[in-house]
Structure 1
Amino acid sequence: MKKNLTILLFLLGLLKISAQSFEGEIIYQLNYKSKVPSISDEQFNEMMGTTQNYFIKEGNYKALIDGTGMEWQLYINAENKLYNKLADSNMAYWIDASKEGNTIQEVLINKKALKILGYECDEVIFVCKNGNEKYYFNSELSIDISLFENHALGHWFDYLKISGALPMMAYIETPECIIKSTAVKIDPKKLNSDIFKIPEGVMTEKSPY
């Protein structure tokens, strides 16, 4: 009886661990393929950055980007807004994350499509009106998707409903370029909530786009 109780407690412990939402940092390698004749791939990569340090905690996320044009993105869950900070401006422009204009026309799912960082990843493909999207995921990066149920922007909640996890790789096609994002390091750790606040001195304004 004591042995059975020990096994039960162990299994419950595993269940609790697996149910936890990922908190920590993921480093993504970025690559841009230009679709604009006047802008080269190299110019896109320099402007938008080739490394992204992505932090996530309790429904908030922030991405630090090493581009000459883009500095960071910040999603504040309580506001359901995504802030974009350009490198040459003291203004962070926000977008209402409840809105998404690119309609999904078809969803395709492929099991065990490829390995990333040693993890078997499933693939989900969104065939969209204005460019397709592909995501590759593993439960290693599972999160509480209920925290993002109002985050329609970028088809984020549509993706999370299928995967339940952060992507390890993504291909996003826009009218201007194709973006490839690949996880190169995963670092689960406790984060200070202050990282998800607008830095002092930075002004905010609704994006005109």
Structure 2
Amino acid sequence: MKQLFTLFNLLASIMLYSQEFEGTVTYKMDYTIKSSELDLQELKKLMGTEAKTHFKDGFYLEKTDSDFMSYQLYSPKDTLVYYKNNIKSDTIKYNRVNTKTEEEFTYKIEKNTDTILGYKCDKLIFKDKYGIKTYYYSSELSLDPEDYKFFLVSNKNKIVSLMKAIYLRLEMTFPAFTVDIIATEVKHTQLKKSLFKLPKDHNLIDGNF
């Protein structure tokens, strides 16, 4: 009976992780300043120190404690990103993510480079005109690249097609600073579809990245 119970748990785990990840990931952000013209506290205020991202069926909703893009909602059905620069604002802007031109990039994948929150991670080093981005990700937390195939902004479609997973850590290197975004909690849970609907009584306007 004990062996049967163990086998059942193993099969349940395999079935769970073979599906696209649904749930919530909490991240923290740390910054390293490389320019005397930047103020660390102002950078934290602008970009935030914590983010909470919800994933379901190709949708994602991210909220941060930042002054810039503190609310971000992606819908694969209409290939739009909706966002607010102030979480309390009653205006939501939107951008089409499928109208940009794909840009040149280089990449390298390294296997089994780290373990984060118990997940064994591969590493994707991705370089384009925006800088160098290093992603740590686990196949246990999968995404479907089909949901992002028209997300051309910042080469996101290419990045998701390479990882086929959410990231658990992201290091971004720019000339003036670096930011290290790392997951502090991963919660598998069924989310309501209503979570990914736009708030009511908001102005909706065309915006620009």
Aligned amino acid, residue 19 of structure 2: Q
**Does 2:79 match 1:80?**
yes
> Per the alignment, do residues 150 and 101 of structure 1 end up closer, same or farther by CA in structure 2, a change over 3 Å counting?
closer
Structure-2 residue corresponding to 1:159: 159
1:46-65 deviation digits (Å, cap 9, x = unpaired): 22211111001111100011
Q: 1:204 and 1:34 mapped to 2: Cα distance?
A: 35
Q: 1:77 and 1:174 mapped to 2: Cα distance?
A: 29
- Does the CA contact (< 8 Å) of 2:69 and 2:84 recur in 1? yes
Structure 1 residue 101 displacement after superposition: 5.9
Q: Secondary structure at the match of 1:132?
A: strand
Structure 1 residue 176 displacement after superposition: 6.3
**Does 2:149 match 1:149?**
yes
Aligned amino acid, residue 45 of structure 2: E
> Per the alignment, do residues 44 and 101 of structure 1 end up closer, same or farther by CA in structure 2, a change over 3 Å counting?
farther
Q: Secondary structure at the match of 2:105?
A: strand
Structure 1 residue 40 displacement after superposition: 1.2
**1:94-109 alignment runs, 5 A limit:** 94-100=94-100, 103-109=103-109
Q: 1:98 and 1:37 mapped to 2: Cα distance?
A: 37
Q: 2:165 and 2:204 mapped to 1: Cα distance?
A: 30
**Does 2:199 match 1:199?**
yes
> Per the alignment, do residues 104 and 30 of structure 1 end up closer, same or farther by CA in structure 2, a change over 3 Å counting?
farther
Structure-2 residue corresponding to 1:4: none
Q: Secondary structure at the match of 1:154?
A: helix
- Does the CA contact (< 8 Å) of 1:110 and 1:122 recur in 2? yes
Query: What is the alpha-carbon root mean square deviation over aligned residues?
Result: 2.7
- Does the CA contact (< 8 Å) of 2:17 and 2:141 recur in 1? no
Q: Structure 1 residue runs of 4+, over 6 Å off?
A: 9-14
Structure-1 residue corresponding to 2:4: none
Worse-superposed segment, 34-43 or 151-160: 34-43
> Per the alignment, do residues 69 and 132 of structure 1 end up closer, same or farther by CA in structure 2, a change over 3 Å counting?
closer
Q: Secondary structure at the match of 1:162?
A: helix
> Per the alignment, do residues 106 and 82 of structure 1 end up closer, same or farther by CA in structure 2, a change over 3 Å counting?
same
Q: How many equivalent residue pairs?
A: 202
Q: Secondary structure at the match of 2:131?
A: coil
Aligned amino acid, residue 132 of structure 1: I
Q: TM-score, normalised by structure 1?
A: 0.84
Q: 2:9 and 2:67 mapped to 1: Cα distance?
A: 50
Worse-superposed segment, 62-71 or 168-177: 168-177
Percent of aligned positions that are identical = 24
- Does the CA contact (< 8 Å) of 2:59 and 2:74 recur in 1? yes
**1:26-175 alignment runs, 5 A limit:** 26-34=25-33, 37-87=36-86, 89-100=89-100, 103-174=103-174
**Does 2:185 match 1:185?**
yes
Structure 1 residue 197 displacement after superposition: 1.2
Q: 1:30 and 1:102 mapped to 2: Cα distance?
A: 28
Q: Secondary structure at the match of 2:44?
A: helix
- Does the CA contact (< 8 Å) of 1:47 and 1:70 recur in 2? no
> Per the alignment, do residues 201 and 132 of structure 1 end up closer, same or farther by CA in structure 2, a change over 3 Å counting?
same
Structure-1 residue corresponding to 2:3: none
